[in-house]
Amino acid sequence: MTSLEQLYEPIADDLAIVEDTLLLVAQSDFLPLEAMLNQVLSRGGKRLRPAISLLCGGFGDYDADTQIPLAASIELLHTATLVHDDVIDSSETRRGHVTANATFGNPASVMLGDYMFAHAAELVARTGHIGVIRLFADTLMVMAKGELAQDVSAFDAGSGTMRDYYRRIHGKTASLFATAGAGGAMMSACDAQTIESLREYGRSIGMAFQIVDDILDFCGTEEQLGKPVGGDLSAGTLTLPAIVLMEGAPDDNPVTRFLNAEDDDDRAELLDNALEAARQPAIVEHCMETVQDWRERALTALNEVPGRGPRGQLVAIAEFITQRDF
């Protein structure tokens, strides 16, 4: 499989400036804040969202002076949501590193996330593009609703429908991928068809990305994930493998028994049973077929984009997302 470095080659210089921009965000005259920002911003990452934004800008009149602040704002918004997610989930590790809330406590981490949201808004404001600024604000609202939908449905077996699941992961994950695609195209003055097609490309690979994450939460290892396996289900969050299992045996299944358990002593064993049942090859295969369906939707949308541009890189990113095993 092609490495990310190879996929990012056409935008390598601008993506490096995005990285520098994030490091500048981490500088502060308030030393406690600087320490917190450095902890969450200096670890790098795949940078898929800013890369998609920059690549999608290549289908129009690309201007690095506006594309780079947009890409940086998208990555900063993403990182801020992770900080808040870790507070909500009481997570102690992410990607193998100690979380901000485990180091600095929940109150300070909430304010850290808020500071990063504000800084992301300042970055996108530098573009001077009112449509993109509005898109950024709308996306933040959609993401917040997605997180709320997950929180209020925790341990609710009745929320385990595909429609609920798709709506939730669109809000939490795919909406920001969609904004990366549409925002990059808008910033380079692409036509309406191109903007909408790249929005759908981003949305579809975002859905695929999250489903792969959800499969790995059942089938991966703690070393691969950088966090405990089965974390979503243990928090009462129903993802695709659990939902497929529940749909196959709606009257009685290990997931529902775990969700309805009242005794904490029983819950640990019931969780292990549910995780093991959801790892069945038939369930994993069904989930991977769903991933491929979303990948095909992304490629279909990309095929509808007129003109020349970094089409090959976007195709390869879709392939990378659906084949990753980390």
Q: Domain holding 319: CATH number?
A: 1.10.600.10
And the tokens for 88?
Answer: 């909500």
The string of DSSP letters for 162-183 reads HHHHHHHHIIIIIHHHHHHHHH
What percent of the chain lies above the pLDDT cut of 70? 99
Number of domains in the chain: 1
Q: Is the pLDDT of residue 1 over 70?
A: no
Query: Quick check: 10 pLDDT over 90?
Result: yes
Q: Is residue 287 over pLDDT 90?
A: yes
* Residues ≥6 apart with Cβ < 8 Å to 162: 243
* 316 burial level (CB within 10 Å; 0-12, 13-18, 19+): middle
Contacts of 207 (CB under 8 A, 6+ apart): 166, 169, 170, 173, 174, 294
* CA separation for the pair 73, 166 (Å, rounded): 25
pLDDT per residue as tens digits for the range 60-84: 999 999 999 999 999 999 999 999 9
Q: Is the pLDDT of residue 43 over 50?
A: yes
- Beta carbons of 307 and 220 less than 8 angstroms apart: no
Q: In which residue are the tokens 């201007």 written?
A: 63
- List the one residue out of 142, 126, 162, 129 whose CA is nearest residue 247: 162
Cα 324 to Cα 326: distance, rounded to the nearest angstrom:
6
Beta strands in the chain (DSSP E): 93-94, 97-98
299 exposure class (CB count in 10 Å sphere: 0-12, 13-18, 19+) = middle
Q: What's the CA gap between 306 and 315, in Å, rounded?
A: 15
Residue 5: count other Cβ atoms within 10 Å of its Cβ.
8
Classified as helix, coil or strand, 227 is coil
Q: Which domain holds residue 133?
A: 4-323
Decide if pLDDT at 292 tops 50: yes
Chain-centre distance of CA 198, in angstroms? 17
Distance in angstroms (rounded) separating the CA atoms of residues 89 and 60 = 40
Nearest of 12, 52, 35 to residue 199 by alpha carbon: 52
Give the separation between CA 108 and CA 317, rounded to whole angstroms: 35
Instruction: Please state which of the ranges 64-73, 142-151, 220-229 shows the lowest mean pLDDT.
Output: 220-229
Q: What is the pLDDT of residue 326?
A: 37
* Contact indicator for 284, 215 with CB cutoff of 8 Å: yes
Nearest to 215 by CA among 133, 290, 294, 271: 290
Backbone angles phi, psi at 237, to 5 degrees: -90, 125
Helices 12-25 and 48-56 pack at an angle, to 10 degrees, of 130
Q: Is the pTM here over 0.85, yes or no?
A: yes
pLDDT per residue as tens digits for the range 79-106 = 999 999 999 888 888 877 899 999 999 9
User: What is the dihedral sign for C-alpha 177, 231, 163, 317?
Assistant: positive
Answer yes or no: are the C-beta atoms of 36 and 112 closer than 8 Å. yes
3-class state of residue 63 by DSSP: coil
Q: What is the pLDDT of residue 89?
A: 84
CA-based nearest residue to 133, from 78, 201, 179 = 179
* Distances in whole angstroms, Cα of residue 85 to Cα of each of 29, 91, 140, 183: 27, 8, 14, 24
